[in-house]
Amino acid sequence: MIPFEYHRATSVQDAVTAVADRTDAVFLAGGTNLVDHMKLGIAEPGLVVDVGHLPLTDVERLPDGTLLIGADVRNSDLAAHPLVRSHYPVLARALLSAASGQLRNLATTAGNLLQRTRCVYFQDLTTPCNKRTPGAGCSAIGGYTRYHAILGASEQCIAAHPSDMAVAMAVLDADVVYVDADGEHRMPLTDFHRLPGDRPDVDTNLPRGALITAVEIPPAPDGARSTYRKVRDRASYAFAVTSVAAELVVDDGTVSGARIALGGVAHKPWRATRAEQALIGQPATEASFRSAADAELAQAEPQEGNEFKVELTKRTIVATLTTLAEGRQR
Ligand SMILES: Cc1cc2nc3c(=O)[nH]c(=O)nc-3n(C[C@H](O)[C@H](O)[C@H](O)COP(=O)(O)OP(=O)(O)OC[C@H]3O[C@@H](n4cnc5c(N)ncnc54)[C@H](O)[C@@H]3O)c2cc1C
Ligand code: SF4
C-alpha cells in the first residue's frame, strides 16, 4: 500500500480549494474506477479528496425544461428516475446496460464520465502504454484490438472510451457543469472527451482541479423516440464492442430529426454527424438508415484485428434506427 492523505470534502468550495495547489491530488466519488487504479498502481495520488458525500444528488427539472443531474447521483438512481425513464429512455437504457447492479449503486454521474479506458495494456503495468507513460509506445497497435477504436485514433493511441452513459448524454446534447478557482463553467459533453492525437495521456478537456457538479440535458424534441443498443461479448457485465445511442423524429414517414452517437469505437463518445445529416428529409426506411451508416463509417480506419467492427457498427445503427422508426421503443 502506498500511503496517501485523505480529506472528506464538506462543500464544493472546500473540494476545489483542497486540490488547488496539489498536482498529486484526485477526487474520489464512488471509487469503482479510481480505487482499482490505485490498487493496480496506475494512479498514485498523494491526496484523495472524497467528494462522494457532497449534496450533489438531485435530479430535477429546471423552469426551462432542462434536466439537471447532480454529479453524485448514483447510476442506479438515475436509471430509475421517473423523469429519465419517461423523457430520456436512451439514457436509462445506457445506464442499465453498464456494469452490474452493485457497481451502479456506487458509480456516480461525474465518475462515470471520467472513468478511464479499459484497454488491457493500459491496465497492465508490464506493457508499454503512451496513455500511462507518454513516449513509451502503444502495445495495442498490432496487438489485441477487439475493444479499440475504429474512428479518430492516432499513431499514439487507439483506445476507446468505455462509458455507456456518456454516449447517451452525447446524443442528448448534454452540458457538463464544473467549478474551478474561477467559478462555475459549462462545456458541451461532445467537447468534454478528447481524441488522443499526440497527447493520449489527456482524456478530457476538463481543467486540472475542476470539480464536476452537474450534467444538464435540454428537453427532448416533440415526438422524439430514443434508445440505446449495446453489442457486447456477454449479455451483462461487459463493456461495449460497439454501441449506438439514437433519437429519431419521424413525420409522415419522413425523418425530420436525427441524433446518433456511437460507443466503443473511439477515444470519445462519437457523435455521428454525417449519418445525422444524411437522414434528414429521407424516408424512414432501412435503405435510408443503411446509407446513413455507410456515410458515417466511410471515415473508419480500423486496426488489424478489429475490421469487423465497421460492418458491425453499421448494422447496429440500422437495427437501432429501425426499432425507433417502427415504434417498438419510445
Ligand atoms: C467490473 C466493472 C465493469 C464495468 N462495466 C461498465 C460498463 O459496462 N459500462 C460502463 O459505462 N461502465 C462500466 N464500468 C465502469 C463504471 O461505470 C465506473 O467505474 C464508474 O461509473 C465510475 O464512477 P465512480 O463514481 O465510482 O468514479 P470514481 O472511481 O470515484 O472516480 C473516477 C474518476 O472520476 C473523478 N471524479 C469523480 N467525481 C468527480 C467530480 N465530481 N469532479 C471531477 N472529477 C471527479 C475521479 O477523480 C476519478 O478520476 C465498470 C466497472 C467495473 C469495475
Ligand atoms: S491504445 Fe492507448 S491506452 Fe492502449 S496501450 Fe495504446 S496508448 Fe495505451
What is the CA(126)–ligand 2 centre distance, in A? 13
* Cβ neighbour number for residue 287 with a 10 Å cutoff: 10
Q: Are 37 and 1 in contact (CB under 8 A)?
A: no
All cell numbers assigned to 147: 475493444
Please indicate, yes or no, whether the overall pTM of this predicted structure exceeds 0.85.
yes
* pLDDT value of position 330: 56
All cell numbers assigned to 213: 457538479
Question: Alpha-carbon distance 267 to 131, whole Å?
Answer: 11
Strands 211-217 and 254-263 turn out to be unpaired
What is the CA(301)–ligand 2 centre distance, in A? 16
φ, ψ of residue 309 in degrees (nearest 5): -70, -20
What is the CA(104)–ligand 1 centre distance, in A? 9
* pLDDT value of position 160: 98
φ, ψ of residue 151 in degrees (nearest 5): -130, 135
- pLDDT tens-place string over residues 17-69: 999 989 999 999 999 999 999 999 999 999 999 999 999 999 999 999 999 99
Question: Alpha-carbon distance 196 to 202, whole Å?
Answer: 7
* Cβ neighbour number for residue 178 with a 10 Å cutoff: 21
- pLDDT tens-place string over residues 255-273: 999 999 999 999 999 999 9
Task: Tell me which H or E stretch contains 8.
Answer: strand 5-8
The answer to whether residue 196 scores a pLDDT higher than 80 is yes
Looking at ligand 2, which atom is closest to the CA of residue 143? 5
Residue nearest to atom 8 of ligand 1 (CA): 98
* pLDDT value of position 237: 87
* pLDDT value of position 236: 84
| Averaged confidence pLDDT in the chain | 97
- Split at pLDDT 50, 70, 90, the class of 329 is low
Q: Are 185 and 178 in contact (CB under 8 A)?
A: yes
Q: Are 91 and 169 in contact (CB under 8 A)?
A: yes
The fraction of the chain above a pLDDT of 90, given in percent, is: 97
